[in-house]
Chain A
Amino acid sequence: NAGVTQTPKFRILKIGQSMTLQCAQDMNHNYMYWYRQDPGMGLKLIYYSVGAGITDKGEVPNGYNVSRSTTEDFPLRLELAAPSQTSVYFCASSSETLGRARGADTQYFGPGTRLTVL
């Protein structure tokens, strides 16, 4: 199992450009999440999905879009990049939502994408 994979690892964007951060998991997890982590800060939830075809906003969704056409993939789209979106982006997955089932709610994280917007 590769677990959770993310591409690219690094990216530099100019203001106003758009890009898609890719995320895939091979654990057949229903739940997938996108987080951003700013320097010295905790992770903030951007979007999450409870299954294919279902997505919902997290704490900081503005400036981002997601889709979930398959169980495996959960891409994050930035339409008009802004310097405030400079961050490290982590994708995660779990078989259950947190707190629902002991042991089944572990979130597995991808290695992250470091994005700089100049």
Chain B
Amino acid sequence: RKEVEQDPGPFNVPEGATVAFNCTYSNSASQSFFWYRQDCRKEPKLLMSVYSSGNEDGRFTAQLNRASQYISLLIRDSKLSDSATYLCVVTPYSSASKIIFGSGTRLSIRP
């Protein structure tokens, strides 16, 4: 089993829709969680950190479910500009050597 798994997609949704996808992790000792966004042939950029209490930033909401070992990302009122690949990142607390990136979920927003 992969340490971090994501549905590769693509998720193809109309503009204005709500879309959500998950990322599961296998190491129960994982402490820090992040969502990154990566546009085609570009570098990843931090979208948001995922805290135990959840995290909301405008149209984006991230949740952590430790019992089931997954994190989620919800995008409301999706825009064309949201089209990208979303990478989840999982790491044990304060360990730079064990940063695990998921393979990413591709999201395509259609007009």
Contacts and interface: CB of A to CB of B under 8 A. Distances in A.
Nearest to A94: B96
A112 B43 CA distance: 7
Contacts of A45: 97, 99
Interface string B22-47: 00000000011010000000111110
B8 A40 contact: yes
Nearest to B104: A42
A107 B32 CA distance: 13
Given A98-B89, A102-B49, A58 B97 contact: yes
A44 B43 contact: no
A59 B95 CA distance: 12
A98 B91 contact: yes
Interface string B88-111: 010111111101111110000000
Of the four ranges (under 10, 10 to 19, 20 to 34, 35 or more), the interface on chain A belongs to: 20 to 34
Contact of A99 (B8, B43, B87, B93): B93
A23 B32 CA distance: 26
Nearest to A32: B96
B4 A48 contact: no
Contact of B44 (A41, A48, A90): A90
Contacts of B95: 97-99
A76 interface: no
Contacts of B96: 31, 33, 48, 50, 56, 97-98
A42 B43 contact: no
Contact of A90 (B43, B91, B104): B43
Interface string A43-76: 1110010100000111100000000000000000
15 contacts: A42-B87, A42-B104, A48-B97, A56-B96, A59-B100, A97-B96, A98-B32, A98-B94, A98-B96, A99-B32, A105-B32, A105-B49, A106-B46, A107-B44, A111-B42
Interface of A: 31, 33, 35, 40-45, 48, 50, 56-59, 90, 97-100, 102, 105-107, 109-112
